[in-house]
Amino acid sequence: MAKQDKATVQIAGALCVQRGTIMLQAFTDAITVSNHQKIDIFDPDTNTGYQRAPVTSRVRKAATYYDEKKGRMPNPLLVNVRKQDMNEDRAVVLVDEDQAGYENAVLENGNWIGTGRIEFTDDLELWIYDGQHRVGGLNQLLGDREGYEDFPVPISLTLGLDQGQEMREFYEVNTNAVPVKTDLAWQLLTKMAEDDPELREMLAAEDKDWVTRAYAVVDELEKLDGPWRGRFQEANRRKTKGDGVTIPKPQFARSLKPVLDMPSFKRADAATIAVVINAYWIGIKQVMPEPFEEGQEDYVLQKGSGAVALHRVLPQVVEVVRSNGGRLGQPEGYAEVMKELPTLEGESVDNDGQLTTRSGADFWRVGSVASGFSGDAGRRRLSLLIQSRLPSPAETIQL
């Protein structure tokens, strides 16, 4: 391929041919991306395009991340130069070595790895099919701030897909992506925050410090002699039959947010909060011991549904215990408030297909009534059901 005279922009990097498709992994500056970007947003009136409209809040969040938080962009934008533009008038690929091997791979739908560059004219459109909010954040900074023109932007550039193929790539990226599990990420965040005052301050400013506080509470709770010792599944550790593990650690940590949001616990240290939670669960065990003694894995009380629902009602329980003059670190006060917990009842289908009313510990068996309260909405309903068995703090106030 001959070098074109009109080329005014150049992007160089690792070049390959993958099953006949030319791809370039490279960096370019933010101003080049901004000047050439094009996003094919779906228009319901004309039924053209395929991308979602950008969300302003996500664009703003990206800009804040790169500017105020000094964030980096390690993940590449997915970009395409469309087939009709791959010609010597608008865009051309130049190979550093092995031109014959490169051309043969393109012709034979084969594979090839090397280095090279694309040169293109000022009016060429770079179609972004993944990363539009990051680009939007950079566009905002280029308009509002100085010093972002040369910000290095990683790009994965496909060369020569038509719109239909580009749309297919967009679909695959957005339907096959698997969300990253938060267990290890949260633990690493907690570890980093221990030694980084600026990170702790940033998390507090964004009201996200509860994540690190929750993990600190769980760590303290594991040290105590109580119902939760040995019940948490650690990151990167498989659950095995009979190991006693009932709940992933991040799920339990998330369930603590209503507790950590209580004004009286905002400044309390993790060890103190852990003592309160431990006493609460010991109190529950006193009024309904079976789920804690007959094989915890057979009950949902110490799984997600139970932990989330019972921690949602803990702030109310704490207020009642206080109104009764009880101490928050003593299980007896919680046992008194939770004494009606075994009266919860509901219907579930038994092995014969018959509806059976379940109460007490049976209410909490796996596959029984409590198992039906799935998802956030279900757990909220379960917590309201538990609250209906609790005395109101107002009922215990003595004037």
- Per the CB < 8 A criterion, the answer to whether 234 and 265 are in contact is no
Can you say whether the dihedral through the CA atoms of 303, 305, 307, 308 is positive or negative? positive
Can you say whether the dihedral through the CA atoms of 374, 377, 383, 389 is positive or negative? negative
Please give the pLDDT value at position 394: 63
Please give the pLDDT value at position 6: 59
Please give the pLDDT value at position 1: 42
Q: 57-86, pLDDT tens digit by residue?
A: 999 999 999 999 899 999 999 999 999 999
Q: 14-34, pLDDT tens digit by residue?
A: 999 999 999 999 999 999 999
Q: 277-331, pLDDT tens digit by residue?
A: 999 999 999 999 999 987 778 899 999 999 999 999 999 999 999 999 999 999 9
Q: What is the dihedral of CA 376, 378, 379, 381, to 10 degrees?
A: 120
- Per the CB < 8 A criterion, the answer to whether 121 and 5 are in contact is no
Residue 4 has pLDDT above 50, yes or no: no
What whole-number distance in Å separates Cα of residue 297 and Cα of residue 371? 13
pTM of the predicted protein model: 0.64
Query: What residues contact residue 99 under an 8 Å CB cut-off, 6+ apart?
Result: none
Strands 112-120 and 91-95: antiparallel
Report the length, in residues, of the chain.
Answer: 399
DSSP 351: T
For 327, 362, 389, the CA distances from 379, given in Å and listed in that order, are 28, 18, 16
The count of other CB atoms within 10 Å of the CB of residue 13 is 18
The H-assigned helical ranges of the chain are 30-36, 56-67, 99-107, 132-144, 163-176, 182-195, 197-205, 209-223, 249-255, 257-260, 270-287, 290-293, 304-323, 331-337, 375-387, 393-396
| CA of residue 335 relative to chain centroid, distance | 36
| CA of residue 89 relative to chain centroid, distance | 45
Please give the pLDDT value at position 2: 44
Nearest Cα to Cα of residue 260 among 298, 302, 218 = 218
Q: 131-184, pLDDT tens digit by residue?
A: 999 999 999 999 999 999 999 999 999 999 999 899 888 888 877 766 656 666
What whole-number distance in Å separates Cα of residue 166 and Cα of residue 177? 17
- Per the CB < 8 A criterion, the answer to whether 137 and 59 are in contact is yes
Query: What residues contact residue 294 under an 8 Å CB cut-off, 6+ apart?
Result: 361
Averaged over 101-119, what is the pLDDT? 97
pLDDT band at 203 (very low <50, low <70, confident <90, very high): confident
Regarding predicted confidence, which is higher, 238 or 324? 324
Strands 91-95 and 77-81: unpaired
Regarding predicted confidence, which is higher, 182 or 347? 347
